[in-house]
Every structure is written in C-alpha cells, then in structure tokens.
C-alpha cells in the first residue's frame, strides 16, 4: 500500500523478502478455546518452533554454546510447566520465572494469569473464561446495537482513522477480520472509560495481546496469519481475551490518557530528574541544547516504547512488566525509558538540538533482538533498585 | 552535526489541523519526498527540517508536525510558542475538518505569537470525486481571515513544494523588511543557531557562510 519510498522499519523484519508463509491452524483449536491449559497438561517435549533468529547459521565453534543455550531453554520451560501444572498456581513463583522471559508457547496462559484474568485455581478457569467472553460479547452487542448513528461519533471517528494505521504493512493487521476486531475492542473500551475515551496510541497496545492470544491456536507466525482461517469461536475468544487483558493493563495507566495526560507529565518529569542524577553530563548537554524531555519522551510513555521497538521486543518486555505487576507500565517503565536514553549518552553528547531530536524520534532500535531488550531490562532493574526509594525524596525539587 | 549551520535564516513552523488530514504526509513529502498510504498516527509531535532558497537567501525550516487528536492539545500547543508560521491543514473531502478550522485559529490566537503567519491548506486535492469543501468557499474564508490559501495533495505531490515555499517566503519578507526598518540597530546574532527567529525580534541567524 506504499507509494513512493518505503519505510523499511516494521513489516519486513521477521520475513525479509520471503513470500508469506502458509498459515496453519492447530488441529485441536476447539479444545484450546475451552481450556488453554490442554497443551500444558500434555506437553513434556521441548519447544520446537521459534528458534532464536541470531543462531540460524552457527559455526562449529558456536555449536557447544548453542547446545548449552538450548538445554537452558528446555530447563526453563520445564520449570514453567511444573509451576503451571499445579492446581493452585503459586503466583510469586510464576512472577519470578516470567521476569526473565516467558517461552512463547506459554505466554497465552502466563500473561492472563499474571494479569489476574485467569484464576490461579485450576477448577475456576474454564468457567471464568466462558463468563468473561460472554460478558464481552454482550458489551459489544450493547455498544453497537443502534448501528452507526448510535455510536459516540467523536470516539468512533478517531478509531476509524487509526485502525488502518495500526501496524501498517503487517499482513495480520491489514486484514478485514482483524481490523473489525480491533475496532470493537477499542470502541468498547473507550465508551466504558469516558474520562479518557479513545486516545491514539492505545491501538498499538492491543497488538501484543492479540498476537499472543492468536498464537495459542496456530502453528505459524501470527503477524503473517490469514485471519480468514480462524473459526468464529476462536476469533471471538482471541478478541475477548485481548479486550480484558488490555483493560487490566490500562487500569494501571489511566492517568496517561485523561485530560492533560497528567500520568505522562509526571513520568516525564520523574524521568528527567532521574537522568539528572544518573547521567549528569548528558542532562547538562540536553539542557544546554534546549532539548526538553517532553519533546522525545512523551511518545515513549504514551505508547510504552512500542513506536521505538518491534512488537516481538515489546512482547518480551511485557513478560517482565507483567511479572513486576501492572504498576510496572508506569513505574518500572520510567526506569526502562531512562536506561533507553542514557544508552546513547556518548552519541547524544556530540549532537546539537536538531541531531538529538532527530535521533531520539527514530532511534536505531527497530531490529533489536531479545538480548538487547534483556540488557535494557536489567539496566532498568538496577536503576529501579537503587533509585526507587530515593525518588520520593527528590520529588520535591 | 554541523550541517545545521549553513543558513541565513531559521524559521520555526508548525503543522496543525484535525487528525487524519495528512499533516505527516505533507511533511514527509516536503522533507523526504515520501508518501505513505498507511502512515502511523502522530503521537505528540514530530520534527523535521528542510533548507530552501528564498530571494537568494538560504532559509532553513524547522517544522513541528503535531498530533491532531484533541487529547494532545495540551502537549502540542506548547510548540506554538516561537513559531513564525503555521500551516493549518484540513481535508477537502471531509467537511468536518474544514469546519474545525475556526477552532484551530482560536488555538493559535491563544497560544502562538500574535503575528504568526498562517496558511490555510486544503489537502487531498487528488480526491476530486469526494470533494466536500468547494475551493471558492475556502478561499473566501481565508481572505476574510487574512490567511493565505492553497490546495495540496501529499499523495500526488501537487502544490506541496509551493505551499511551503510560499509561507517561508511570506515569513522571510516580513522578517527582512523588519530588519530593514530597524537597520540602525546592530544586527544581533542569536545565542544559539538552533533558536528560531521570532518575527518580533527579527534578525538573520549567524549562518556560518564563511569564505
Ligand atoms: N488521497 C490522499 N490521501 C492522503 C493525502 N495525504 C494523506 N493522506 C492519507 O490520509 C491518512 C492520514 O494521513 P496522515 O498524514 O497520517 O494524517 P495526520 O494529519 O498526520 O494525522 P494525525 O497524525 O493523526 O494528526 C493516511 O492514510 C494518508 O495516506 C493526500 O494528499 N491524498
Ligand atoms: Mg500525523
């Protein structure tokens, strides 16, 4: 859909120059819809799909390292499964495991558990899922029962403009079915939250959930999936689960989206205070070039860095955020943003106003791999543990 | 990054108007000659520059593209300060975006410098079959409100260059005539070459056009 030069950032990332791979549905989707845990109860075999992209062509000297990495992964996976198989899941244990990253096939159950959408107690799960999905369905019916004229025009208008601009160029998101689901999720959320309504950027936040939930039912890449292949009940389940998980995430950062966006203003201010302490030379340089934190960090807060990094990276990042608790999307995130900024300190200190702004509004981080995200998360962890208590003291500046 | 210093004048310009009218595409067309049918929405502001020639002088435009959604108004209006020009964009195929122009003018009155140069831009002129705002109507409105006016298409590139060229020339003429009026004053160089020239304190930037 691109005329003129193509912006190479997103769509090509995972499948450069290859035709869209076939979309394959798992054979037992109907079982999975009713009990997302089926795969956990039967699985003992190590994760076969999703090899990390960095090790595709390893030299012989790398192969020992590769084997070691693989066995670490298998071990981690087994520990997850052990934790998830318990009738009453120990949430502290699950958080600890998830902090360091959740295996991709387990995310569709781990994320809703961490968000409190799925009950920890096994017997309650199926009934809860059925009830929540039913509830979402009636919310949708209620919201759309009066056809188009009955909609809140202002909210609907903005959603209509933004849906086709969500993950442009990515097959999954350019399809009719997915776009209609996204529209419903956004609209129902918005009218239930009149203080904020729909705010641009929230559309981005739906995509990790939707892709993770979709991945439970398919054996191919969610981003390249042909949504027409999904049975209706599965599509409804993916949509409803995404809606409820999005709602829980947003509950923790509502302040970001209400009038004047005080949550973001606060976070940006605290971020500036923090950077002044952890990297005084950078802070001084930004100040001398008249660069304001708001000029670049606003978007980092508003879209949780989703405009700066890939969805794959975001999903890995959310493993850790969700393990920290929904607070992390405002609290821990500010440490992540600070670490993200000071990472470029040396470069930035050699740039002038224009250079700094141009660099920070499109940093070279679109094809980061998991390793780079994990480095960032551990830097943020260190900052958080050093400064979190101190922040209340220097808030009075 | 010394690239920024080869100019005689630096003008800060803002792009404003409803969401979806094509502000970001106008900017990418002007600064990179790119158009994207499915561009992402702008969150907060985005920044780009381009240097052009006006009456033999090198003029650098520092352009802030703002988010159109109402919710971002508190954030984006801060960028009006110090701007010497504004492109107020509507979509010729969506009447509501034209009806909102009055509200945008009020935004500018409330937050921008009093003598900011404003150009009304009817974008998406390629959508002829969908036209909802007659050219004459917009032209009359612009005249009544002392705005310059142009219709553009970021898609087929028509008039985009001309829109920016016109507003930058208008700004330049005002700025340079003021400089002449005050010619007894010594010409002050801005403290930093990234500080935009405000019309009130018009002065050529200290462009390093040495030898
Ligand atoms: N036909 C046509 N479509 C255009 C033109 N300019 C922009 N568009 C399309 O209009 C949609 C919105 O364009 P944007 O440039 O993102 O709009 P915007 O004003 O920046 O929107 P916000 O960032 O939300 O404020 C995109 O799908 C563009 O491809 C144009 O001149 N002609
Ligand atoms: Mg835009």
pLDDT in tens, B131-174: 999 999 999 999 999 999 999 999 999 999 999 999 999 999 99
State the total domains in chain A.
Answer: 2
Query: A321: helix, coil or strand?
Result: helix
Report ipTM for this prediction: 0.85
A109 within a domain of the structure (yes/no): no
Q: Using pLDDT thresholds of 50, 70 and 90, give the confidence band for residue B91.
A: very high
B62 within a domain of the structure (yes/no): yes
Mean pLDDT of A36-49: 66
Q: Which residues contact B78 (CB under 8 A, 6 or more apart)?
A: A294, B111
Residue A217's domain comprises 122-252
| Residues of A with Cβ-Cβ distance to B192 under 8 angstroms | 289-290, 353
Q: Are residues A268 and A391 in the same domain?
A: yes
Q: Is the pLDDT confidence value at A3 over 80?
A: no
Q: Which residues contact A37 (CB under 8 A, 6 or more apart)?
A: A84, A109, A122, A125
A101 within a domain of the structure (yes/no): no
How far is it, in rounded angstroms, from Cα B43 to Cα A169? 19
The answer to whether A53 and A64 have CB atoms below 8 angstroms apart is: no
Q: Is the pLDDT confidence value at A50 over 80?
A: no
Q: Are residues A312 and A217 in the same domain?
A: no
DSSP calls for A38-104: HHHHH--SPP-S---GGGTT--HHHHHHHHHHHHHHHHHHHHHHHHHHSSB--HHHHHHHHHT---T
B135 within a domain of the structure (yes/no): yes
A307 within a domain of the structure (yes/no): yes
Q: Using pLDDT thresholds of 50, 70 and 90, give the confidence band for residue B203.
A: very low
**Which spans in chain B are helix H?**
23-32, 73-76, 95-99, 101-111, 135-144, 160-181
Residue B102's domain comprises 9-182
- Range with the largest mean pLDDT of A14-28, A68-82, A247-261, B177-191: A247-261
pLDDT of residue A72: 82
> Which of B23, B24, B25, B79 has most ligand 1 atoms within 8 Å of its beta carbon, as the pocket-test mutant?
B25
Q: Are residues A248 and A267 in the same domain?
A: no
A381 within a domain of the structure (yes/no): yes
B146 conformational bin, left if phi > 0, alpha if psi -120 to 50, beta if neither = left
Q: Using pLDDT thresholds of 50, 70 and 90, give the confidence band for residue B39.
A: confident
**Contact call for A261 and B74, based on CB within 8 A:** yes
CA distances from A153 to A149, A190, A191, A214, A217 (A): 8, 12, 11, 30, 35
**Which spans in chain A are helix H?**
29-34, 38-42, 60-85, 91-99, 107-114, 122-144, 153-162, 176-192, 202-215, 232-251, 262-278, 280-288, 293-302, 311-324, 331-342, 345-348, 353-361, 370-394
pLDDT of residue A8: 39
How far is it, in rounded angstroms, from Cα B151 to Cα A242? 42
A86 within a domain of the structure (yes/no): no
How many angstroms away from the CA of A351 is the closest CA of chain B?
Answer: 6
Ligand 1 atom closest to A200 (CA): 24
| CATH number of A161's domain | 1.10.8
Q: Using pLDDT thresholds of 50, 70 and 90, give the confidence band for residue B2.
A: very low
pLDDT of residue A350: 98
B189 within a domain of the structure (yes/no): no
B194 within a domain of the structure (yes/no): no
How many angstroms away from the CA of B193 is the closest CA of chain A?
Answer: 9
pLDDT of residue B6: 84
Percent of chain B with pLDDT over 90: 76
Q: Using pLDDT thresholds of 50, 70 and 90, give the confidence band for residue A341.
A: very high
A40 within a domain of the structure (yes/no): no
B13 within a domain of the structure (yes/no): yes
Q: Which residues contact A395 (CB under 8 A, 6 or more apart)?
A: A270, A273
The answer to whether A203 and A149 have CB atoms below 8 angstroms apart is: no
A217 within a domain of the structure (yes/no): yes
> Which of B16, B28, B39, B152 has most ligand 1 atoms within 8 Å of its beta carbon, as the pocket-test mutant?
B39
Segment 123-142 of chain B within 8 Å of chain A by CB:
none
pLDDT of residue B192: 41
Q: Which ligand is nearest to the CA of A162?
A: 1
Across A66-80, A109-123, A162-176, B97-111, least confident range:
A66-80
A9 Cα–ligand 2 center, Å: 17
Q: Using pLDDT thresholds of 50, 70 and 90, give the confidence band for residue B185.
A: very low
Give the residue from A195, A226, A252 where a domain finishes: A252
How many angstroms away from the CA of A161 is the closest CA of chain B?
Answer: 6
Q: Using pLDDT thresholds of 50, 70 and 90, give the confidence band for residue A388.
A: confident
Q: Are residues A390 and A286 in the same domain?
A: yes
Q: Are residues A209 and A274 in the same domain?
A: no
How far is it, in rounded angstroms, from Cα A96 to Cα A69? 20
B204 within a domain of the structure (yes/no): no
pLDDT of residue A74: 84
A288 within a domain of the structure (yes/no): yes
Q: Whose CA is nearest to atom 22 of ligand 1?
A: B19
Q: Using pLDDT thresholds of 50, 70 and 90, give the confidence band for residue A391.
A: low
| CATH number of A276's domain | 1.10.472.80
State the total domains in chain B.
Answer: 1
pLDDT of residue B187: 38
Collect residues with CB below 5 Å from ion ligand 2.
Answer: B 23-24, 42
- Nearest Cβ partner for A307 among B33, B43, B71: B43
Please write the tens of the pLDDT for every residue from A163-192: 999 999 899 999 999 999 999 999 999 999
Radius of gyration of chain B, Cα coordinates, nearest whole angstrom: 17
CA proximity to A236, closest of A6, A91, A29: A29
Q: In what order do the strands lie in the sheet with B148-151?
A: B45-54, B57-66, B9-17, B85-91, B117-123, B148-151
Mutation target vs B (from A165, A263, A348, A350; most B CBs, 10 A cutoff): A165
Q: Whose CA is nearest to atom 21 of ligand 1?
A: B20
Query: A369: helix, coil or strand?
Result: coil
| CATH number of B61's domain | 3.40.50.300
pTM (2 d.p.): 0.88
pLDDT of residue B210: 35
B47 within a domain of the structure (yes/no): yes
Q: Are residues A270 and A380 in the same domain?
A: yes
A311 Cα–ligand 2 center, Å: 21
pLDDT of residue A333: 97
Q: Are residues A169 and A215 in the same domain?
A: yes
Give the residue from A202, A230, A252 where a domain finishes: A252
Of A261 and B178, more confident: A261
| Residues of A with Cβ-Cβ distance to B30 under 8 angstroms | none
Please write the tens of the pLDDT for every residue from A293-302: 999 999 999 9
How far is it, in rounded angstroms, from Cα B81 to Cα B14? 10
Mean pLDDT of A208-225: 96
Q: Whose CA is nearest to atom 1 of ligand 1?
A: B124
Q: Which residues contact A308 (CB under 8 A, 6 or more apart)?
A: A299, A300, A340, A363, A365, A366
CA proximity to B41, closest of A300, A203, A170: A203
B49 within a domain of the structure (yes/no): yes
Which structure tokens are listed for A60?
């012989």
Query: What are the φ and ψ backbone dihedral angles of B54, each rounded to 5 degrees?
Result: -130, 120
Pocket, ligand 1, Cβ cutoff 6 A: B 19-25, 36-39, 41-42, 67-68, 123-124, 126-127, 153-155
pLDDT of residue A265: 95
């Amino acid at each position: 859909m691109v005329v003129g030069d193509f912006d190479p950032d997103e769509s090509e990332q995972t499948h450069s120059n290859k035709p869209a791979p076939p979309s394959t549905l798992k054979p037992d989707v109907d079982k999975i819809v009713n009990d997302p845990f089926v795969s956990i109860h039967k699985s003992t075999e190590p994760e076969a799909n999703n090899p990390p992209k960095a090790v595709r062509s390893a030299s012989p000297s790398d192969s020992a390292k590769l084997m070691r990495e693989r066995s670490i992964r298998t071990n981690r996976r087994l520990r997850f499964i052990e934790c998830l198989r318990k009738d009453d899941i120990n949430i502290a244990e699950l958080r600890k495991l998830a902090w360091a990253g959740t295996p991709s096939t387990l995310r569709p159950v781990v994320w809703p558990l961490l968000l409190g959408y799925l009950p920890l107690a096994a017997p309650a799960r199926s009934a809860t899922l059925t009830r929540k999905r039913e509830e979402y369905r009636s919310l949708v019916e209620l919201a759309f029962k009066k056809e188009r004229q009955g909609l809140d025009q202002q909210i609907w208008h903005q959603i209509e403009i933004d849906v086709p601009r969500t993950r442009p160029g990515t097959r999954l998101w350019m399809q009719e079915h997915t776009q209609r689901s996204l529209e419903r999720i956004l609209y129902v959320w918005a009218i239930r939250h009149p203080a904020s309504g729909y705010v641009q950027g929230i559309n981005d936040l739906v995509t990790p959930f939707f892709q993770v939930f979709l991945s439970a039912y398919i054996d191919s890449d969610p981003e390249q999936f042909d949504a027409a292949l999904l049975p209706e009940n599965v599509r409804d389940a993916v949509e409803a689960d995404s809606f409820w998980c999005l709602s829980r995430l947003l509950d923790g950062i509502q302040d970001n989206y209400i009038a004047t966006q005080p949550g973001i203003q606060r976070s940006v201010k605290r971020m500036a205070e923090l950077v002044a302490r952890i990297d005084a030379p950078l802070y001084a340089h930004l100040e001398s070039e008249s660069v304001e934190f708001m000029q670049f960090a606003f978007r980092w807060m508003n879209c949780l860095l989703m405009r700066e990094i890939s969805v794959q990276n975001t999903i890995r990042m959310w493993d850790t955020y969700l393990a920290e608790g929904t607070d992390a999307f405002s609290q821990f995130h500010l440490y992540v943003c600070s670490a993200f900024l000071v990472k470029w300190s040396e470069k930035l200190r050699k740039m002038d106003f224009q250079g700094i702004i141009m660099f920070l509004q499109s940093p070279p981080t679109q094809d980061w791999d998991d390793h780079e995200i994990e480095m960032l998360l551990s830097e943020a962890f260190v900052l958080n543990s050093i400064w979190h208590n101190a922040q209340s003291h220097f808030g009075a500046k | 990054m010394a690239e920024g210093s080869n100019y005689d004048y630096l003008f800060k310009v803002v792009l404003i108007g409803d969401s979806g009218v094509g502000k970001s595409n106008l900017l990418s067309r002007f600064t990179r000659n790119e158009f994207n049918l499915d561009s992402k929405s702008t969150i907060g502001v985005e920044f780009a520059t381009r240097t052009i020639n006006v009456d033999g002088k090198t003029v650098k435009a520092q352009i802030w593209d703002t988010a159109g959604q109402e919710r971002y108004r508190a954030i984006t209006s801060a960028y009006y300060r110090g701007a010497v020009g504004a492109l107020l964009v509507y979509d010729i195929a969506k009447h509501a975006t034209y009806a909102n122009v009055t509200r945008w003018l009020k935004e500018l009155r409330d937050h921008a410098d009093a003598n900011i140069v404003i150009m009304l831009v009817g974008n998406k002129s390629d959508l002829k079959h969908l036209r909802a705002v007659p050219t004459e109507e917009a032209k009359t409105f612009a005249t009544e409100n002392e705005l310059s006016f142009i219709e553009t298409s970021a898609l087929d590139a028509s008039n985009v260059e001309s829109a920016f060229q016109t507003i930058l020339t208008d700004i330049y003429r005002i700025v340079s005539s003021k400089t002449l009026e005050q010619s007894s004053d010594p010409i002050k160089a801005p403290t930093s070459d990234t500080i935009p020239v405000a019309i009130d304190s018009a002065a050529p930037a200290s462009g390093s056009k040495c030898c």
